[in-house]
Amino acid sequence: MGNYLNIGNAGFESVRKGVYVDKTGMISIINSTLGTMDKLTCVSRPRRFGKSFAAKMLCAYYDKSCDSRALFEGLEISRDDSFEKYLNKYDVIYLDVTGFIFIAGHIKDTVRVMQEKVIKELRETYPDAREENNLPETLAAIHEMTGNKFIVIIDEWDALLREAKRDSKLLDEYILLLRGLFKNSGLTDKVIEGAYMTGILPIKKYGSQSAVSDFREYTMLTPRKLAKYVGFTEDEVKELCEKLDVDFEKMKAWYDGYTFSRLKSVYNPNSVMEAIKSEEFGSYWTRTETYESLKIYIDLDEDGLKEAIVQMIGGAHVKINVGSFQNDMTSIKSKDDVLTLLVHLGYLAYDSEENAVFIPNEEVRQEFLLAVTRGRHAEVARLVERSDSLLEATLCMDEEAVASAMEEAHKAGSAPIFYNNEQALRSIIRFAYISCVDEFLKIDELPSGHGYADVVFFPKKSSSMPLLLIELKWNKTEAGAISQIKKKDYPQGLKDYGGDILLVAINYDVKSHKHTCKIEKYVEGDK
């Protein structure tokens, strides 16, 4: 076993020794591509979403230098028809690009060192093969002598493109290597049985990266049949929580929220496992890079970006066009480019049916709050800081203070073109009350009585707060909103709650741009 050729199964063995969620079903999908026109697979996911775990799993399964049968016994792949056919049958070349950047000493030497290290191990294993000076031709020489085909697994394939984006000489050298391996009609089909690459961003749409254009891509926008392997599914998390006696509802609030056309509830896998190990809910994945990486992008001066962030912090979904994004971190030309990048980085979730993005869960919401309070958008930071005061004013039934806070939030959170928009008002209401998330659960348009309550904040079980029932009006009156609440008997739909209920009516006048507020305690039977 080597460091780059046939590295063995120790990596996957260590994964199996801990709490393990079975993701081996992915192997059958890769098996179905081997030796076909679809044999080149590229998977892009955010950091800490299990990319390296999957690479270790594939190495353990295909590597001919070890016997991994016991590691896969009882797992999903062991029941698949292809299990025996491909188990430990191939020479596997494993390239961890970030690791090569480290051992190269200087980043400009990365590609040279990469080829030298792998060729050295190939020659040690196949000393009688014809000597060549580059990796593609060395593999070809071994194939000519033995007939062997290779599985190539590249982890963080785009690390060089991110870390050395201005070193055109190095990138050309790297792309030439990839082209030699995967876009060489005389070599690729003969020598490469399959390839699996992981990265953070999708393959760039133009330019030198066309060397990997033959790869079939699975991204955070379109994971397709690999959707269930992006993270943990809800059933998997429920099973973990039941087995380990962990609060599932808290786990869902903190780490759920990623959604795809084939799967509507995907959890951040690293954060789920960290919460289980530490027996505490909090931000784990986001702390791997700190808020700075997010702050850089949300501080960009793109039109409409601030308003989009405000509305998403308030719980809204924001429409987006993902088509203009160039799949890199430098060609950012619009609000949509920023938001699309944040989807690929895991800071936003994407609903392909709505063509909209949103903040997926509490873990990421906390990171957004940290970023905006320390970022360039001073008025947004001020609103975040004043949210506690707004909640206090509501509980004290200070109507003027609540109306004033709503006005400030509306001005800060809506561009002029969207200012007179009812959906914007709803988003701003949710944003202004962001402090409520600590002690309340928020539900929009809750069926209640003979209609729908606009926004309801339910106190969490541990809270002594009253329930807040908020009704929004547009060019009407706050008194009329209170009357509607009573007439349609909204509180009756909440009668099982059992605690105090505050009725909060907020009206916005389009002409004057003024907000007014009326707050009452609900008394049963009061019409």
> 11-25, 39-53, 194-208, 335-349: lowest mean pLDDT where?
194-208
pTM: 0.83
Instruction: Kindly state the average pLDDT of the residues 361-381.
Output: 76
Give the pLDDT score at 376.
64
Q: How confident is the model at residue 210 (pLDDT cuts 50, 70, 90)?
A: low
Per residue in 6-26, pLDDT tens?
999 999 999 999 899 999 999
Q: How confident is the model at residue 220 (pLDDT cuts 50, 70, 90)?
A: very high
Class of the 10-218 domain? Answer: alpha beta
> Is residue 483's pLDDT more than 80?
yes
Q: Encoding tokens for residue 304?
A: 């409409």
Give the H/E segment covering residue 445: strand 440-448
Instruction: State how far the alpha carbon of 527 is from the alpha carbons of 29, 340, 451, 490, 505, in Å.
Output: 62, 49, 16, 11, 15
Give the pLDDT score at 526.
59
Q: In CATH terms, are 10-218 and 397-521 the same topology? A: no
Q: How confident is the model at residue 273 (pLDDT cuts 50, 70, 90)?
A: very high
Q: Which residues of 505-516 are buried (b: 16+ CB within 10 A; e: fewer)?
A: bbbbeeeeeebb
Give the H/E segment covering residue 29: helix 25-31
For residues 201 and 46, is the Cβ–Cβ distance under 8 A? no
Q: How confident is the model at residue 388 (pLDDT cuts 50, 70, 90)?
A: confident
Q: Which residue has the tokens 């292809």?
A: 82
* Count of beta carbons in the 10 Å neighbourhood of residue 73: 8
Nearest Cα to 310, choosing from 382, 404, 402, 401? 382
Q: State the Cα angle at 200 between 271 and 293, rounded to 5°.
A: 70
| Percent of the chain predicted with pLDDT > 90 | 53
Q: Encoding tokens for residue 306?
A: 């601030």
Give the pLDDT score at 482.
85
Q: How far apart are the C-alpha atoms of 508 and 410, rounded to whole Å?
A: 10
Nearest Cα to 91, choosing from 154, 192, 6? 6
Give the pLDDT score at 391.
85
> 79-93, 289-303, 442-456, 483-497: lowest mean pLDDT where?
442-456
> Is residue 450's pLDDT more than 50?
no
So where are the chain's domains? 10-218, 228-376, 397-521
The CATH number assigned to the domain with range 397-521 reads: 3.40.1350
Q: How far apart are the C-alpha atoms of 385 and 390, rounded to whole Å?
A: 10
Q: How confident is the model at residue 416 (pLDDT cuts 50, 70, 90)?
A: very low
For residues 242 and 333, is the Cβ–Cβ distance under 8 A? no
Give the pLDDT score at 458.
83
Question: If DSSP states are collapsed to H, E and C, what string results for 167-191?
Answer: CHHHHHHHHHHHHHHHCCCCCHHHH
Per residue in 507-519, pLDDT tens?
888 888 888 999 9
Find all residues with CB under 8 Å of 445, minimum gap 6, and list them. Answer: 452, 453, 454
Q: What is the overall mean pLDDT for the chain? A: 86
> Is residue 392's pLDDT more than 90?
no
> Is residue 417's pLDDT more than 50?
no
> Is residue 271's pLDDT more than 90?
yes
